[in-house]
Structure 1
Amino acid sequence: MQPNSSKATIHLLVLDIDGTIAGVSNEIREPIKQAVQAAQAKGIQVAIATGRMYCSALRFHQAIGATLPLMAYQGALIKDPTTEQVHRHWTLSARLAADLLDYYEQPALRDQLSVHLYIDDQLYVRELTADSKDYGYRTSVIPIPVGDLRSLLDQEPTKVLALGEDPMLMDRVLAELRDRHPADELYLTKSVPIFVEATNPLVNKGTAVQYLAENYLGIAPENVMVIGDNFNDLEMIQYAGIGVAMGNAPAAVKAAADWVTLGVEANGAAVAIAEFLL
């Protein structure tokens, strides 16, 4: 795809965080900030859609000067940081969360996975594993160890995440869970190769971006451009008038995109913004 005058005007740019605007440094590089500011100067609104917790995504929202609601947890939580208004919070049923936790407690899996339970924008873990500590460090969140996570299910969680060190194991876990839970029961996705994430079945970044565009801003899909890098970005890439995949994205995500830019370490998001919006 090449930008041309016959294309609809873009009014909304939606950015993923990890692997898209933040790479190894866990910070947004200056060329990306400058590109975003140039787009905003042309009247284009910019928003974040991420699998991260709301509290973890907030600094990126602030760093790009976003003024729209923030879409966190794959879009399960849409909240306006300025007004604190919650536009959407679709939680996971306690029954399905218990099923997931039972599955992760199997002897064959228990010692190979770190399981994270997210309730009220807090992160709860069974115990502090090295993986959970690393995750907490990168996301600036303090994991709270509580022992058996099933003891917290008097509340409905926003998300359940399992992480392991073996991408092939996580592929198998994802496949097994999809066999056990149809799409109308759980939304299951991967944001990085070693994560398996589960949310309410209505949740994905596509429905979140659709809400922000159509319900909040009153614009059409063709007025939206999105940039993402992984399987959890597929739905918003397919929804938007211009869906851009990062150069570091899996082949299936690139195949679904209208355009493929450079990788995150080469400021691919800035390249895409310049190509289509500037």
Structure 2
Amino acid sequence: MSLNTFPVGDRQKIKLLVLDIDGTISGISNQVRQPVIEAIAKVKQQGIPVAVATGRMFCSALRFYKAIGAGLPLICYNGALIQDPETNKVHHHFPISIPLAGQILDFLEQPQYRDQMTVHFYIDDCLHVQDMGEDTRKYLDRTSAPIRVVDSLRERLTVEPTKILALSENLELIEELSADICATFPQDKLHFTKSSPNFFEITHPLANKGFAVQYLAETVLGLKSENVMAIGDNFNDLEMIEYAGIGVAMGNAPAPIQRIADWIAPSIEEDGVVTALAQIMNGGIRIDGRLGR
């Protein structure tokens, strides 16, 4: 879809802006750049509230939430947890059942995966791992997540995990895992997605950003899907881009995500969100010296 085909007739209806974090408002620097912060502030000045929807942990997402001044409940773990940072009220928590989590662990411990993949369990907003490998170190460098190294993940299955993540630098292995696990576990029992080529994320079947954004829009704010603009960059953003009246994919998004979007913004390193937000500001006014195309 061309940058010149923004759905002009719909932008006046927008009453909620929902933003992903990694690859959307935060790139290589792992920070929100000042032009993006200023563009979001101008949208808020128009009376449009801003929400964050991310695959990150609640605690890991908070600094981004604060950086852009989001004021709505925070959608994290790809929608498995919706929690208000101001009041700590939990609106929704959809963890994976203990029996299913055990079956997933059995699956991931098969010989073809065990030695080439790292498994993360997220319990009570804390990362649990068995081994502090290189994959986990890189993950911690970016997320600054609280971590607990345990002798056995299976021993932690007295509490339902919010999310399970399998990660590997072997991208072919991730694709093989994706096909195998989707063929093994019914889609009505679990939700599978990727927020990065080397991440395979497993959550409760109701845990997706589309359902979470629908909850914020319709239940919390009394809006309709046509009043929502959502911007994301990866497969875990698919459902919210589909739900939103205006669904925007970043220029760095995979081709399948770009194909389902209503509009494609420039890439994260080009501050594509700034250009996208210019489209809903009085028909494309200037934001930080940029003109909406």
TM-score of the superposed pair, with normalisation by structure 1: 0.98
CA contact (8 A) 2:10 2:226 kept: no
Tell me the amino acid that sits aligned with residue 203 of structure 1: A
The aligned length equals 278
Identity of aligned residues (%): 53
- Alignment match, 1:44: 48
Q: Is 1:256 the equivalent of 2:260?
A: yes
CA–CA distance in structure 2, aligned partners of residues 6 and 182 of structure 1:
37
- Alignment match, 2:200: 196
Tell me the amino acid that sits aligned with residue 104 of structure 2: L
CA contact (8 A) 2:119 2:129 kept: yes
- Alignment match, 2:289: none
- Alignment match, 2:15: 11
**Partner-residue secondary structure (3-state), 1:123:** strand
CA–CA distance in structure 2, aligned partners of residues 225 and 277 of structure 1:
12
Out of 173, 178, 183, the position equivalent to 2:182 is: 178
- Alignment match, 1:62: 66
Show the 5 A alignment for 1:79-228. 79-228=83-232
CA–CA distance in structure 2, aligned partners of residues 133 and 97 of structure 1:
24
**Partner-residue secondary structure (3-state), 1:147:** coil
How far is the alpha carbon of 1:8 from its aligned partner? 4.9
How far is the alpha carbon of 1:276 from its aligned partner? 2.6
CA–CA distance in structure 2, aligned partners of residues 5 and 242 of structure 1:
11
14-23 vs 107-116, which deviates more? 107-116
- Alignment match, 2:288: none
What is the aligned-residue RMSD (CA, Å)? 1.0
**Partner-residue secondary structure (3-state), 1:68:** coil
Out of 243, 248, 252, the position equivalent to 2:247 is: 243
How far is the alpha carbon of 1:7 from its aligned partner? 5.0
CA–CA distance in structure 2, aligned partners of residues 71 and 176 of structure 1:
28
Tell me the amino acid that sits aligned with residue 84 of structure 2: D
Q: Which runs of 4+ in 1 moved over 6 A?
A: none
CA–CA distance in structure 2, aligned partners of residues 191 and 208 of structure 1:
16
TM-score of the superposed pair, with normalisation by structure 2: 0.93
- Alignment match, 2:285: none
- Alignment match, 1:25: 29
CA contact (8 A) 2:78 2:236 kept: yes
Tell me the amino acid that sits aligned with residue 255 of structure 1: R
CA–CA distance in structure 2, aligned partners of residues 108 and 232 of structure 1:
25
CA–CA distance in structure 1, aligned partners of residues 10 and 118 of structure 2:
49
How far is the alpha carbon of 1:190 from its aligned partner? 0.4
Q: Which runs of 5+ in 2 are unaligned?
A: 283-293
CA–CA distance in structure 2, aligned partners of residues 56 and 164 of structure 1:
21
Tell me the amino acid that sits aligned with residue 126 of structure 2: Q
CA–CA distance in structure 2, aligned partners of residues 204 and 53 of structure 1:
14
Q: Which runs of 5+ in 1 are unaligned?
A: none
